[in-house]
């Protein structure tokens, strides 16, 4: 039997939030809360040779539950950035900044000079007598050796999170979040508060004893792109369930169509290992020429980048590349994402959009939501946006129907409500620094209005 954390009395009663500490009675739990609340989290740190340290859930986690809020251990400018204030990390203009009179580093203004986060860097630079980098020894210090400095830079690069609350975004390292594993199909989503604090939460339920993960790459990219990006930036080969399953959970997100004798199958690599060598049809066995595959992908990528983004061009692109790529291929989907954003971009425009375009928008957004809920359920900002778009399109469609007929479009309104509620779930932790925070506000207004109508 375990022991009470306060009096060591044997007990079976656990703290229900973390499942990791025991109390003999409510009173001892209450007394201990001041100390325990810092550690009371529904996960624990484990260690293995293969993964190093990682996080595992210590109880089941409900959908949308926040599992961790933490402030940064350290925040620094991005590796590639224009000049920024070294205190608040916002961009500065060549004509509008000050130099700290003690250390000489650029600051946005007098308010930032006095802030506590500047003191360590300011004192250190002033002590050295210069902020300038000499050719060989940037830091001009013997206090820390070269190896330690390089190691520290490595830690920032591997563990840093891009924090978009400044313009340009900066990089922060967080304590617990540094133990999170990567997966291309993660179970946690990241949001940020105005202050740049990290909020980690679960878009879907998580079972007890599950590895917790976030995506270090972009879950909207195809497998080859994600693999390459992770190798270059984080120095490892991803073998997550999504990368190992070449069909990406049956979505065929990377697949070509088989063109052999009306075969309905799809062409994919035989396994992740054979990505650059063997592609064949899963139905008829037809082998594909790898140089042909690469050629089409290269052209599809270049054309998408170079394309003037208009509704007609997106439609043409989709029609053209659907000759070879499946209708849920990531390049086709990227064009569809552009397209649904271009059709009726604001409420006024939506009211005058042609009927066929409105229908196309509804069809594609629905398809994208269904696809990415399977493939990238933690891309919550994108999913929230899509749900809002679909809600608006359905509402507009309903408005048009009710103008023409006396039919009650109740089921359409219910659908519109369903998607605005989904939108609110996805965006509920977004602050009003971001577009998504504003969409969230509007979504709540629309939801309340729809509920009134439907009562």
Q: Which residues bind Zn ion (CB under 5 A)?
A: 4, 6-7, 9, 15, 17-18, 24, 28, 40, 85, 87-88, 100, 102-103, 108, 112, 122, 184, 238, 240, 243, 258, 260, 263, 265, 281, 283-284, 286
**Closer CB to Zn ion, 201 or 279, in the complex:** 279
Write down the least CB distance from residue 103 to Zn ion, Å.
3
Write down the least CB distance from residue 370 to Zn ion, Å.
21
383: enclosing H helix or E strand: helix 380-404
The terminus-to-terminus CA distance of the chain in angstroms comes to: 54
Separation of alpha carbons 213 and 183, rounded Å? 6
Half-sphere exposure of 115 (CA within 13 A, CB side): 14
**Closer CB to Zn ion, 240 or 395, in the complex:** 240
Strand 181-182, strand 213-214: pairing: parallel
SS3 content of the chain, % helix, strand, coil (to 5): 45, 15, 40
**Closer CB to Zn ion, 37 or 294, in the complex:** 37
Q: How far is CA 397 from CA 163, 353, 371, 403, in A?
A: 38, 10, 23, 10
**Closer CB to Zn ion, 10 or 347, in the complex:** 10
**Closer CB to Zn ion, 44 or 447, in the complex:** 44
**Closer CB to Zn ion, 115 or 399, in the complex:** 115
Write down the least CB distance from residue 46 to Zn ion, Å.
17
In 276-337, where do the E strands start and end? 279-281, 287-288
Residue 144's Cβ-count burial label (10 Å; 0-12, 13-18, 19+) is: exposed
Separation of alpha carbons 219 and 377, rounded Å? 9
Write down the least CB distance from residue 330 to Zn ion, Å.
14
Write down the least CB distance from residue 84 to Zn ion, Å.
8
Residue recorded with tokens 């080969």? 237
Per the DSSP assignment, residues forming a β-bridge with 201 are 66, 189
**Closer CB to Zn ion, 112 or 293, in the complex:** 112
- Report whether 223 contacts 196 (CB < 8 A): no
Write down the least CB distance from residue 436 to Zn ion, Å.
25
Write down the least CB distance from residue 235 to Zn ion, Å.
14
């Amino acid at each position: 039997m375990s022991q009470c954390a306060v009096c060591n009395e044997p007990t079976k009663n656990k703290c229900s939030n973390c499942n990791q500490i025991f109390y003999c009675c409510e009173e001892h739990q209450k007394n201990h809360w001041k100390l325990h609340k810092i550690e009371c989290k529904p996960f624990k740190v484990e260690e293995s040779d293969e993964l190093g340290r990682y996080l595992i859930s210590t109880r089941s986690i409900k959908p949308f539950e926040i599992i961790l809020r933490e402030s940064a251990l350290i925040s620094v400018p991005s590796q590639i950035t224009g000049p920024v204030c070294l205190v608040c990390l916002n961009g500065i203009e060549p004509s509008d900044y000050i130099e700290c009179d003690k250390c000489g580093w650029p600051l946005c203004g007098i308010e930032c000079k006095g802030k506590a986060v500047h003191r360590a860097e300011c004192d250190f630079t002033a002590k050295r007598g210069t902020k300038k980098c000499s050719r060989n020894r940037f830091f001009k210090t013997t206090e820390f050796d070269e190896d330690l400095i390089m190691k520290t830079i490595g830690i920032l690069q591997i563990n840093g999170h891009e924090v978009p609350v400044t313009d340009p975004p900066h990089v922060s390292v967080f304590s617990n979040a540094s133990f999170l594993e990567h997966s291309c199909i993660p179970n946690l989503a990241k949001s940020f508060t105005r202050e740049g604090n990290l909020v980690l939460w679960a878009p879907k339920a998580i079972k007890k004893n599950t590895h917790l993960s976030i995506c270090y790459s972009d879950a909207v990219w195809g497998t080859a792109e994600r693999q390459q990006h992770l190798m270059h930036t984080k120095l490892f080969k991803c073998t997550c369930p999504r990368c190992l399953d070449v069909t990406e959970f049956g979505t065929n997100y990377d697949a070509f169509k088989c063109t052999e004798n009306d075969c309905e199958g799809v062409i994919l690599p035989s396994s992740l290992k054979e990505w650059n060598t063997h592609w064949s049809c899963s139905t008829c066995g037809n082998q594909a020429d790898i140089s042909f595959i690469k050629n089409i992908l290269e052209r599809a990528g270049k054309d998408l980048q170079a394309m003037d983004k208009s509704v007609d061009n997106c439609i043409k692109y989709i029609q053209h590349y659907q000759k070879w790529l499946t209708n849920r291929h990531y390049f086709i989907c990227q064009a569809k994402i552009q397209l649904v954003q271009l059709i009726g971009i604001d409420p006024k425009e939506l009211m005058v959009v042609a009927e066929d375009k409105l229908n196309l928008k509804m069809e594609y957004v629905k398809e994208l939501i269904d696809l990415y809920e399977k493939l990238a359920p933690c891309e919550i900002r994108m999913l929230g946006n899509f749900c809002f778009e679909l809600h608006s399109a359905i509402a507009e469609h309903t408005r048009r129907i009710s103008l023409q007929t006396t039919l009650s479009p109740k089921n359409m309104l219910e659908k519109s409500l369903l998607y605005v509620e989904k939108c609110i779930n996805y965006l509920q932790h977004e602050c009003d620094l971001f577009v998504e925070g504003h969409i969230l506000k509007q979504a709540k207004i629309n939801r309340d209005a729809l509920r009134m109508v439907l009562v």
